[in-house]
């Protein structure tokens, strides 16, 4: 390789050299030495040109006569569009594909995925190898996510979600009789054929039961029962989600659990939430989603001067605790007993009711 660019090759050649260099690196990484060598040769040739490649006519110069057909096409493309789509595609595909794959490990968000990418991880297999070599530290959720990656990457057929719901209903009934209501939420309630996980909302059926047991106690009892049955196999801390204890509330009114259950030989993700009866319509609406639907409904509420959450709805007064920290929406609450069903919430906001399967966006 000529170490220094020749005096005549200007910026345009420099950009071309960089693009062909990326192709060379890409094929080098793939172990495709034939293409690697071909692009390396093109890059050095461009680097040493005594003239600027400025038009298609320049490709007829003697120095460029020996270029292959594909390379010539890429040069024409560059002259016409200012870039080479193949290289743009590589950048997008390769890093987005890797970041997506890494985020497919439960407990890995974009920040972690980027950090691991920076350490050379491009795939789940890379993570396994880096970890074995001592180059990565995984938290407890990520370790479970990695161990069960193949199972948890599969979507769950609707039928199987129904069988998991029955399992939890049976445990609820065994422990609390009919006093505990169990509702499947999430993508299952929206009618999807397959689900990423199982989302279950638990709630006391009768108001007079409230206060006898806290939501945490109810949740602990159900989780203990299902764990004893060896149905629940792993508990997750669920740091991927907003921590309900960190919302600035003196005592959390609800409780949630993230875990893994086993159906046959397959591990499945399961989320349980317990809310008091007065919050039921709000929790049901929120836990049904979809996520984008929730965001747009909450934004709509905010524009009307209200703050909508999975606990209830209140007048929005936009303030920060002691002028710092996260924004709190702590206006006067709208009496929760006015809301018996999800439809009451739509009505309150002047929205027409949408069935769960109409809430994809």
Q: Which is nearer to ligand DCP, 53 or 152 (CB)?
A: 152
What's phi and psi for 55, nearest 5 deg? Answer: -150, 165
Using rule CB under 6 A, residue 294 touches ligand DCP: yes
Does the CA dihedral 230-233-235-239 come out positive or negative? negative
Can you give the C-alpha Rg of the chain in angstroms? 29
Using CB under 5 A as the binding rule, whether residue 186 contacts Mg ion is answered as yes
Q: Which residue, 27 or 258, is less far from ligand DCP as judged by CB?
A: 258
- Min. distance of Cβ 42 from ligand DCP in angstroms? 45
- Per-residue mark of binding to Mg ion, 187-226 (x: CB under 5 A): x---------x-x---------------------------
DSSP state, residue 210: B
Please tell me the count of residues contacting ligand DCP according to CB under 6 A: 12
Contacts with Mn ion: how many residues (CB under 5 A)? 3
DSSP string, 218-275: HHHHHHHHHHHTT-EEEEE--TTSPPGGGSS-SS-S-EEEEEEEEETTEEEEEEEEEE
Segments of 250-343 assigned E as strands: 255-263, 266-275, 306-308, 313-315, 318-320, 327-329
> Considering the complex, what minimum distance in angstroms separates the CB of residue 264 from ligand DCP?
20
343 flagged as catalytic: no
CB 192, min distance to Mg ion, A: 9
Instruction: Report the phi/psi class of residue 248: left, alpha or beta, with left for phi > 0 and alpha for psi in -120 to 50.
Output: left
User: Which parts of 109-195 are beta strand (E)?
Assistant: 156-157, 180-184, 194-195
Strands 327-329 and 318-320: antiparallel
Q: Segment contacting Mn ion (CB under 5 A): 65-73, 111-119, 197-205, 207-215?
A: 197-205
Binding mask 171-200 for ligand DCP (x = CB under 6 A): ---------------xx-------xxx-x-
Nearer Cβ to ligand DCP (103/187): 187
> Token match 């606990």: residue?
311
352: Cβ–Cβ under 8 A, 6 or more apart, which residues? 346
**Of the two residues 214 and 290, which places its CB atom closer to Mn ion in the complex?**
290
Catalytic residue among 25, 69, 70, 74: 74
- Report the interface residues with Mn ion, using CB under 5 A: 197, 199, 271
- Report the interface residues with Mg ion, using CB under 5 A: 186-187, 197, 199
Give the residue numbers annotated as catalytic, written as ranges. 74
- Report the interface residues with ligand DCP, using CB under 6 A: 186-187, 195-197, 199, 286-287, 289-291, 294
């Amino acid at each position: 390789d000529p170490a220094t660019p020749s005096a005549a090759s200007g910026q345009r050649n420099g950009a071309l050299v960089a693009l062909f260099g990326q192709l060379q690196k890409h094929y080098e990484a793939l172990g495709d030495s034939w293409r690697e060598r071909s692009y390396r040769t093109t890059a050095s040739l461009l680097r040493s040109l005594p003239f600027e490649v400025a038009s298609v006519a320049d490709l007829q110069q003697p120095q460029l006569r020996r270029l292959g057909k594909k390379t010539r096409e890429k040069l024409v493309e560059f002259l016409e569009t200012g870039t080479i789509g193949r290289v743009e595609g590589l950048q997008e595909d390769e890093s987005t594909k890797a970041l997506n794959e890494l985020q497919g490990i439960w407990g890995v968000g974009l920040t972690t995925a980027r950090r691991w990418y920076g350490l050379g991880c491009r795939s789940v297999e890379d993570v396994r190898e880096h970890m074995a070599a001592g180059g990565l530290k995984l938290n407890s959720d990520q370790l479970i996510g990695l161990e069960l990656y193949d199972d948890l990457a599969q979507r769950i057929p609707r039928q199987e979600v129904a069988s998991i719901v029955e399992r939890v209903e049976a445990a609820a009934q065994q422990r609390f009789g009919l006093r505990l209501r169990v509702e499947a939420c999430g993508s299952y309630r929206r009618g999807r054929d397959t689900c990423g996980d199982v989302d279950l909302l638990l709630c006391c059926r009768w108001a007079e039961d409230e206060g006898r047991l806290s939501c945490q106690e109810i949740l602990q009892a159900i989780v203990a029962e299902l764990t004893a049955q060896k149905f629940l196999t792993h508990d997750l801390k669920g740091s991927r989600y907003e921590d309900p204890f960190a919302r600035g509330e003196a005592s959390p009114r609800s409780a949630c659990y993230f875990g893994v259950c086993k159906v046959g030989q397959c591990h499945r993700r399961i989320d349980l939430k317990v809310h008091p009866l007065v919050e039921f319509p709000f929790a049901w609406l929120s836990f049904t989603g979809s996520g984008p639907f929730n965001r747009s409904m909450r934004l709509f509420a905010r524009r009307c001067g209200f703050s909508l959450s999975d606990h209830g709805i209140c007048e929005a007064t936009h303030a920060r605790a002691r002028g710092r920290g996260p924004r709190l929406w702590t206006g006067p609450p709208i009496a929760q007993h006015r809301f018996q069903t999800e439809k009451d919430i739509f009505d309150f906001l002047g929205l027409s009711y949408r069935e769960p399967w109409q809430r994809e966006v």
